[in-house]
Amino acid sequence: MKKTIGIVILAAGQGKRMGTDTPKPLLIASGKRLIDFPIHEAKMFCEKSNLSFLITAVTGHKRELVNEYLGQHYKDVATVFQKEQLGTADAIRSYFAQQKAGKDYDYTLILCADTPLIRSIHLSFLWKNLLSQNLDAVAATFIADDPAGYGRILRGEKGFRIVEHKDASEEQKIIDEVNSGLYIMKTDYLLSHLAEIDANNKSQEFYLTDVFKEEANVAPILFDDYKSFVGVNNPDQLEEVFLELNYEKIYDLKKNGVSFYDSSCTYVDWDVKVGAGSIVYPNVSLRGNSVIGKNVVIDSGSIIKDSIIGNQTTINPYSIIEKSHIGEKVSIGPFARIRPDTEVGDNSKIGNFVETKKAKLKKGVKVSHLSYVGDAIIGEETNIGCGFITCNYDGANKHLTEIGKGCFIGSDSQMIAPVKIGNDCYVASGSTINKNMDDGDFAIARSKQEIKPGLAKKFIKKKDK
């Protein structure tokens, strides 16, 4: 039979030191909310360890926002309410009081919502120690350069106890082995000791750390990669975590055949995928859920957010792509702005200073210079000259421009939408088109040129020497 484990994510605290209105579990690092990390890693650990699990977050401060987020993104994460933030033991009491099933799970894993660098391997290591040494409870510990603020580990003959920084004597403060706030316990052990905890300490809080006793069958498990246990309590730590996640992500991509020329100033969000053989230049930011294909080149200064980029495409410098789908062997930019809902077919080209929005460009379309293509469909192999504009907005509504296959649209043309141009049409340069064209039509819509021989000298003014 599978062993069972109740997972509790502590997310009720106020996070005062962050100084923002956003509740701490919902702060963003590497394109994800902080609370996403412990949820994901705890699930991975349970799957790898063949455990049957139940996940519950304890929420309190701004719980409406945290609960709404969890409700929208996770079907399998329950929430319980800690009315007042009376300490971590009180949070666990709220859990057992409201999540009645929690008591029936053999083990309880406790994680904080603000430690996004803890990975499933850490949880597995704790778990293996608990089982192999047949312990009742374990706490993950590490050696801190600066232990101030952390609970200190006091190892006894058999077990250990934790003294919070505020309550520690000068002698105890010298101890540098500290509590990370990550625990696995037998549920029976936790329940029996939880009942005894009081708030007789400097903070007058109910400390969960008081479940650990020197005479009990419990052990601190020391980890040497202290960086993984950083908690986000202030903006400095949020930046530290962001940079660490970025380092981890890029390290992983490099192992999978992606090249970076200077990863110290390149940013890739946690959920982004990049195919082998792709090259990412410095000062690039790949965000959200973007999926980049194989052998793609992304040049300096480009930002790609929630977009799909096909194989062998080149994104030239300083191009911004958002919520769009770019095909294979496409060339974008430099200085292109691809706004949401743009689809670019294979072998197309979008050149410098081109802006697109809600535009469907089929295969082999070229929009090479200085154009605006909004609310438009452009057929295969059509060439759009320099300085083309879709006049899509009448002040109240947006309208569609449709251009067929194989057209030549001369430079400095405008399409006053709604307008429909057939296949194989030719629009002369400088035309303002507001009437539909049938397949094969030619349109010219500009005033006629007049030539007055020799009259130039009347208009050319020379500066006095």
258 binds, among ligand UD1, Mg ion, none (CB under 5 to 8 A by kind): none
* Least spacing, CB of residue 192 vs ligand UD1, in Å: 18
Site string for ligand UD1, 180-209 (x = CB under 6 A): xx-------------------------xxx
Examine residue 116 and tell whether it contacts ligand UD1 (CB under 6 A).
no
Q: How many residues bind Mg ion (CB under 5 A)?
A: 1
* Least spacing, CB of residue 201 vs ligand UD1, in Å: 9
> Quick check: is 369 catalytic?
yes
* Least spacing, CB of residue 61 vs Mg ion, in Å: 13
* Least spacing, CB of residue 235 vs ligand UD1, in Å: 15
Interface segment toward ligand UD1; rule CB under 6 A; list 83-91, 308-316, 425-433, 445-453: 83-91
Examine residue 144 and tell whether it contacts ligand UD1 (CB under 6 A).
no
Interface segment toward ligand UD1; rule CB under 6 A; list 6-14, 49-57, 95-103, 273-281: 6-14
Examine residue 37 and tell whether it contacts ligand UD1 (CB under 6 A).
no
Interface segment toward ligand UD1; rule CB under 6 A; list 38-46, 98-106, 177-185, 282-290: 177-185
C-beta closer to ligand UD1: residue 153 or 268: 153
Examine residue 10 and tell whether it contacts ligand UD1 (CB under 6 A).
yes
Examine residue 85 and tell whether it contacts ligand UD1 (CB under 6 A).
yes
* Least spacing, CB of residue 1 vs ligand UD1, in Å: 32
Examine residue 354 and tell whether it contacts ligand UD1 (CB under 6 A).
no
Interface segment toward ligand UD1; rule CB under 6 A; list 116-124, 179-187, 287-295, 319-327: 179-187
Interface segment toward ligand UD1; rule CB under 6 A; list 9-17, 124-132, 250-258, 301-309: 9-17
Interacting residues with Mg ion between 193 and 232 (CB under 5 A): 231
The 3 state secondary structure assigned to the chain is CCEEEEEEEEECCCCHHHCCCCCHHHCEECCEECCHHHHHHHHHHHHHCCEEEEEEEEECCCHHHHHHHHHHHCCCEEEEECCCCCCHHHHHHHHHHHCHHHHHCCEEEEEECCCCCCCHHHHHHHHHHHHHCCCCEEEEEEECCCCCCCCEEEECCCCEEEECHHHCCHHHHCCCEEEEEEEEEEHHHHHHHHCCCCCCCCCCCCCHHHHCCCCCCEEEEEECCHHHHCCCCCHHHHHHHHHHHHHHHHHHHHHCCCEECCHHHCEECCCCEECCCCEECCCCEEECCCEECCCCEECCCCEEECCEECCCCEECCCCEEECCEECCCCEECCCCEECCCCEECCCCEEEEEEEEEEEEECCCCEEEEEEEEEEEEECCCCEECCCCEEECECCCCECCEEECCCCEECCCCEEECCEEECCCCEECCCCEECCCECCCCEECCCCCCCCCCCCHHHHCCCCCC
Examine residue 178 and tell whether it contacts ligand UD1 (CB under 6 A).
yes
Residues that bind ligand UD1 (CB under 6 A): 10-13, 58, 82, 85-88, 90-91, 112-114, 150-151, 162, 164, 178-181, 207-209, 231
Please identify every residue annotated as catalytic: 369
